[in-house]
């Protein structure tokens, strides 16, 4: 696995000028005037009101535009709910973001006869690292956010999209789906022109267990997707559901043997990143008007360095059994072992499969043959490709490889909520797990065999026709 800060694009702006706050309409009569005057690091604060402007943000770096901000984050309430009520800063028009770097829009309500926001750049200067948070976007035609060809790293979170044409989605891209470079989570879309079907509005939750290094559930863009044990009362020191785990509200920390990954030893960034990839895979496929029904169960195994040891095999087996007993339909194992695990681990996976739980494993990053767990017939093994569909140089290969997904420069979150890119089969697997969860949400009766058949059938064949050792049955976009 590899984590890196997202690539910088150097734009010809002064690097020595001090950043300032620019206020609309106190200092600038229009939002566009404040944007035109903005320099790197500036914050534009827009007072509550209605602004009739079509905005063009061209070649700006590290500028933040703030409108009516929602109340403080409450983990008990989906973050998009208070955003829906925070619509005092309204822009009647559209926003074009052209060749900008690290631009943030937050707390805006944009009402447009077309897409509310359009993002693009050029071959020479991509639009990169664009963040849209806590906004309400109303689009008369097309997606709420339209993407051109030349962009990288778009993050959308805690945002409501209202679409009027009855056909579009929250994000629409000019490129193929597998070429999209978008992180979408904790956002809600709906058609203004019709009611959501009652059954679609109340889907059954699909639980995906992430056995990893722990998840930072305090991040608003992840918190609304975290699984909660409905039978456990928090902090009463009683095993309310009688499962042998006291106060296991969000899962269990098998590393510290306590109910909470966020207490005790620090968590490594890996698990939060994996959870973000998984949630994005589901939300990016949701039909408009259908709420996300996938929840992520946090089962911590890795230590603060992102490592587990041969002495941890019993913990891994216990985590798998916990996930199955608590109703998980999918288990994501972005873990890699070079040594053959004891039989108790394989038996735990077999018990999971026997109860129709899909176990997704990684190919590994050693540029070698698949390791022990990845070769087991009971798991769905996932390798990595780059953005263009080329096999990643680090991704392990073998006859047992089932599928591949993007695992190079993947966009997600790390603890604290910062957006980063990472590479590794660890980040290809949760995308496939998320797509699988989407299929179960659409048809809860799917067996593991039927689910794998569905994934294999929809995979985009790469390389030689049929199965091959580098890409399996193909790419899950």
Residues recognised as catalytic: 212, 270, 426
Q: What is the CA radius of gyration of the chain?
A: 22
Q: What's 311's DSSP letter? A: G
Query: Between helices 270-283 and 425-442, what is the axis angle to 10°?
Result: 40
Residue whose C-alpha is closest to residue 347's, from 314, 389, 385: 314
d(CA 203, CA 443): 10
Two tokens, residue 248: 């296991």
In b/e form, how buried is each residue of 205-220, taking b as 16+ CB within 10 angstroms? Answer: ebbbbbbbbbbbbebb
Other Cβ atoms closer than 10 A to 351: 16
- Beta strand ranges found along 71-167 (DSSP E): 89-92, 95-98, 101-106, 109-112, 117-120, 127-133, 136-139, 145-147, 151-157, 160-163
CB 209 within 8 A of CB 276: no
* CA proximity to 175, closest of 196, 156, 148, 203: 148
User: Cα separation of 135 and 398, whole Å?
Assistant: 45
Cα–Cα dist 36/48, whole Å: 20
| Residue 316: φ, ψ to 5° | -65, -45
Residue 23 forms beta bridges with which residues?
A: 45
Q: How far apart, in whole angstroms, are the C-alpha atoms of residue 72 and residue 106?
A: 14
Tell me whether the omega of the peptide bond preceding residue 25 falls within 30 degrees of 0, making it cis. yes
**178: burial class by Cβ within 10 Å (0-12, 13-18, 19+)?**
middle
CA dihedral 141, 142, 144, 147 (to 10 degrees): -140
Residue 22's φ and ψ, nearest 5 degrees, are: -120, 125
Q: Is the four-CA dihedral 83, 137, 157, 380 of positive or negative sign?
A: positive
Tell me the C-alpha distance between 116 and 112, whole Å.
Answer: 5
Vertex 228 angle, CA 222 and 231, to 5°:
175
């Amino acid at each position: 696995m590899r984590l890196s800060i997202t690539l910088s694009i150097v734009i010809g702006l002064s690097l020595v000028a001090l950043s300032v706050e620019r206020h609309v309409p106190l200092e600038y009569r229009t939002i566009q005037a404040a944007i035109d005057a903005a320099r790197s690091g500036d914050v534009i604060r827009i007072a509550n009101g209605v602004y009739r402007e079509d905005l063009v943000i061209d070649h700006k770096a590290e500028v933040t535009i703030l409108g009516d901000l929602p109340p403080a984050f409450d983990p008990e309430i989906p973050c998009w709910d208070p955003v829906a009520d925070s619509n005092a800063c309204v822009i009647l028009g559209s926003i074009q973001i052209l060749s900008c770097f690290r631009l943030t829009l937050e707390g805006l309500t944009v009402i447009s006869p077309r897409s509310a926001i359009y993002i693009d750049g050029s071959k020479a200067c991509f639009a990169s690292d664009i963040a849209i948070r806590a906004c309400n976007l109303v689009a008369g035609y097309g997606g709420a956010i339209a993407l051109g060809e030349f962009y990288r790293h778009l993050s959308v979170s805690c945002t409501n999209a209202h679409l009027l044409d009855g056909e579009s989605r929250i994000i629409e891209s000019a490129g193929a789906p597998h070429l999209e470079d978008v992180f979408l989570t904790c956002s809600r879309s709906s058609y203004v022109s019709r009611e959501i079907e009652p059954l679609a509005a109340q889907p059954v939750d699909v639980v995906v267990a992430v056995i990893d290094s722990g998840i930072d559930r305090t991040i608003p863009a992840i918190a609304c997707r975290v699984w909660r044990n409905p039978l456990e009362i928090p902090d009463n020191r009683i095993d309310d559901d009688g499962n042998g785990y006291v106060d296991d509200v969000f899962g269990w920390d098998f590393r510290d043997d306590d109910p909470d990954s966020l207490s005790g030893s620090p968590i490594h960034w890996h698990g939060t990143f994996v959870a973000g990839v998984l949630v994005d895979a589901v939300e990016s496929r949701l039909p408009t008007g259908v709420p996300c029904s996938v929840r992520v169960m946090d089962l911590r195994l890795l230590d603060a360095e992102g490592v587990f040891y041969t002495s941890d095999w019993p913990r891994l087996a216990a985590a798998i059994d916990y996930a199955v007993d608590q109703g998980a339909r999918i288990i994501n194992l972005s873990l890699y072992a070079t040594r053959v695990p004891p039989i108790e681990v394989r038996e735990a996976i077999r018990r999971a499969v026997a109860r129709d739980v899909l176990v997704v494993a990684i190919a590994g990053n050693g540029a070698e043959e698949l390791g022990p767990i990845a070769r087991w017939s009971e798991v769905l093994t996932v390798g990595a490709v780059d953005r263009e569909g080329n096999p990643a140089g680090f991704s392990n290969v073998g006859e047992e490889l089932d599928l591949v997904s993007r695992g190079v420069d993947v966009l997600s979150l790390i603890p604290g909520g910062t957006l980063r890119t990472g590479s590794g089969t660890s980040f290809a697997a949760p995308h496939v797990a998320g797509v699988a969860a989407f299929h179960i949400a659409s048809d809860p009766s799917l067996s593991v065999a039927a689910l794998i058949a569905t994934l294999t059938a929809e995979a985009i064949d790469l390389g030689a026709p049929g199965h091959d050792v580098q890409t399996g049955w193909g790419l899950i976009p």
